[in-house]
Amino acid sequence: MRAFKAHLRGLAPYPYKKEEAPVKLDQNESPLDLPGGLKEEALRRMARLPWNRYPEIHAEGLRRRLSALLDWPEEGIVLAPGSNLLILALSLAAEEVLDLVPSFPHYAHAAKVAGTPYRAVPLLEGFALPLEALLSAFTGGVLFLPNPHAPTGALFPEEALWGLAERAKEVEGLLVVDEAYREFAGTDFSFLARQNPHVALLRTFSKAFALGGIRAGYLLASPEVAGVVREVLPPFVLPAHTAAILEVVLENPGYVEKGVALVRAERERVYGELLRHPTWRPYPSRTNFLLVKTPDAEEAFRHLLARGVLVRRQDRYPGLEGCLRVTIGRKEEMDAFLRAAFGVAYA
Ligand SMILES: *Cc1c(COP(=O)(O)O)cnc(C)c1O
């Protein structure tokens, strides 16, 4: 095959395999769907749209709304069908991608697809941020930093992020703080990016906003950075129906807090229960999932699946030997998980 660039040969597929199970705790989705009334309102607005017409070129209406809600300049906002696409656009634009290991696998995958030079710095003991190593490795390019971190669930300290933001300015690189799980941690790192054009934030509607199926996320950045990302993406990239749905949820965001409160309460309950497990060990989490160390991830995964509970294996990542990732769902779902998990000990 001579059609494609050599670096795309042997590209590993994204590590996801679909499995069916009654209790689905494998993709960090919201356990609750969007409230029915909001869905109906979104459908009414979609029906009123002219489907023969292109949407706005850069989602101007939504950017105006987000700008007012977040007090962020409109020119510094980029909307896309999923923050994964923003990660790809940033990786295409980047001189180099700097990553952590383990981390969200799409950063490495996007850099590889883009053919962008890539380096990763390992997390320290206890999943701590390797600040010194990152400061010296960060010599330009784009550093992707999920905070709270995926897939460990840890929240990195603010002081460390200040240091990285300063370093980004010094080397004229870009620190991208991926805030996919911020609602579950109650954090907001926009203060870092307001004064420093070398910091950008990624946010998604896929987790706390319960819109994983809709595909939408946004970047908050300086007008200069946002301008490059907008031009790397194709024009008219955000579909009109997606924009209509986002308008409705931004006008009625009350449901988000309810879902987040439920997830946080279940997360703490399940964490506490797992501390009593004879062989499994949960790590503290500020997200909507728990990372759990088991003596044998494959066996634990199969045991849970045989009892109708689907989780995600993480044991192929360096430093995560034996680990499973369990999305926090509704109480009944977590009861089913706990019953199955404690069944392991006596099996
Ligand atoms: C889930 C997740 C996202 C969301 O990606 P979308 O494409 O917006 O669904 C982004 N970053 C991290 C770290 C995630 O875990």
Q: For ligand 1, pick from 206, 285, 286 the residue to mutate: most ligand atoms within 8 Å of CB.
A: 206
Residues 6 or more apart whose CB falls under 8 angstroms from that of 75 comprise 223, 226, 227
Please tell me the predicted confidence (pLDDT) of residue 108: 96
Please tell me the predicted confidence (pLDDT) of residue 51: 98
- Which protein residue's CA is at the shortest distance from atom 11 of ligand 1? 180
Answer yes or no: are the C-beta atoms of 85 and 220 closer than 8 Å.
Answer: no
Can you give the pTM of this predicted structure? 0.97
Using DSSP, state whether 45 is helix, strand or coil: helix
Question: What's the length of the chain?
Answer: 347
- CA–CA separation, 67 and 65 (whole Å): 5
* Residue-wise DSSP of 278-329: SS-EEPP-SSSEEEEE-S-HHHHHHHHHHTTEE-EE-TTSTT-TTEEEEE--
Please tell me the predicted confidence (pLDDT) of residue 346: 52
CA 235 to centroid of ligand 1, rounded, Å: 22
CA 114 to centroid of ligand 1, rounded, Å: 18
Using DSSP, state whether 143 is helix, strand or coil: strand
Structure tokens at 218: 């946004």
Q: For the chain of 347 residues, list the mean pLDDT of each consecutive stretch of 10.
A: 89 81 97 97 98 98 98 98 98 98 96 97 96 98 98 97 98 98 98 97 98 98 98 98 98 97 98 97 98 97 97 94 98 97 72
CA 1 to centroid of ligand 1, rounded, Å: 33
Whether omega for the bond prior to residue 148 falls within 30 degrees of 0, making it cis, is yes
Q: For ligand 1, pick from 109, 177, 178 the residue to mutate: most ligand atoms within 8 Å of CB.
A: 178
Please tell me the predicted confidence (pLDDT) of residue 345: 57
Whether omega for the bond prior to residue 15 falls within 30 degrees of 0, making it cis, is no
For residue 157, how many other CB atoms are within 10 A of its CB? 12
- CA–CA separation, 313 and 128 (whole Å): 21
CA-nearest of 295, 238, 198, 210 to 36 is 210
CA-nearest of 42, 35, 15 to 239 is 42
Closest atom of ligand 1 to 150 CA is: 13
Give the start-end residues of each E strand in 168-267.
Answer: 174-178, 199-204, 217-220
In which element (H, E) is residue 290 found? strand 289-293
Residues with CB under 6 A from ligand 1: 28, 82-84, 104, 146, 150, 178, 180, 204, 206-207, 217
CA 276 to centroid of ligand 1, rounded, Å: 31
CA 177 to centroid of ligand 1, rounded, Å: 12
Phi-psi region of 140 (alpha: psi -120 to 50; beta: other; left: phi over 0): left
Please tell me the predicted confidence (pLDDT) of residue 13: 78
Which residues, in sequence order, are bridge partners of residue 23?
309
List the domains of the chain with CATH numbers. 14-33+255-345 (3.90.1150.10), 49-251 (3.40.640.10)
CA 316 to centroid of ligand 1, rounded, Å: 20
Angle between helices 331-346 and 297-306 (to 10 degrees): 120
